[in-house]
Amino acid sequence: MELNNEDDDRATPRTVLGRRLRRMRETANLSQRALADKVGYPHTYISRVERGEQLPSEALTEDLDTHFATDGLLAELLSMALDASIPDYGRAVVEREGKAARIQVFGSSLIPGLLQTEDYAPCSASHYPANPRNGRTSGSPRECAANVSSKGGKHRITGQSWMRRH
């Protein structure tokens, strides 16, 4: 999913920041190279920011605000651009992240449904590495096949088959 599908004609916080920087630079009669030398950043970086291809770092916006005496205008535009780069569906997560005491990532411990076939299970299970808690491996393919057969592919509670048959 492309998050930065901004049209060149459309005014977005990113493009407004770049256009504003270009106007300030041109008003001061500075080339990109001259501005880059004054603030201590590569001219190619300044160029990418002006074209809206890249957001500036906080340090660059602070240096530019100081150089042009803009009272934090570029820093505010950067903040708006960063906020606008977060898609709506992720905004709630990002807002809560700052308040979180810890962040924990959960992963599934289930084998995906496609792999839960009677033919594939013994083959798949025999290739798992040793369990780090007890050091035991999953066993030979024959042991794994016997284990899968003994379970009969039935769910303990419902008695329904959990394996697909082809």
Residue 147 buriedness (CB in 10 A; 0-12 / 13-18 / 19+): middle
Among 11-20, 65-74, 123-132, 137-146, the least confident range: 123-132
Give me the mean pLDDT over the 50-77 stretch.
93
pTM for this structure? 0.52
Give residue 140's pLDDT: 63
Domains of the chain: 13-97 (1.10.260.40), 108-166 (no CATH)
Percent of the chain with pLDDT over 70: 59
pLDDT tens per residue, range 105-157? 777 666 555 555 666 655 555 555 555 666 565 566 666 666 655 555 555 55
Among 28-37, 57-66, 72-81, 141-150, the least confident range: 141-150
Give residue 94's pLDDT: 79
SS3 for the chain is CCCCCCCCCCCCHHHHHHHHHHHHHHHCCCCHHHHHHHHCCCHHHHHHHHCCCCCCCHHHHHHHHHHHCCCCHHHHHHHHHHHHCCCHHHHHHHHHHCCCCCCCCCCCCCCCHHHCECCHHHHHHCCCCCCCCCCCCCCCHHHHHHHHHHHCCECCCCCCECCECC
- The residue type found at 33 is R
> 11: pLDDT confidence band, cut at 50, 70 and 90?
confident
Among 26-35, 66-75, 140-149, 152-161, the least confident range: 152-161
Give residue 21's pLDDT: 95
Give residue 161's pLDDT: 55
CB atoms within 10 A of CB 25: 20
> 5: pLDDT confidence band, cut at 50, 70 and 90?
very low
Give residue 75's pLDDT: 93
* Unique residue bearing structure tokens 């606008």: 84
Among 3-17, 69-83, 97-111, the least confident range: 3-17
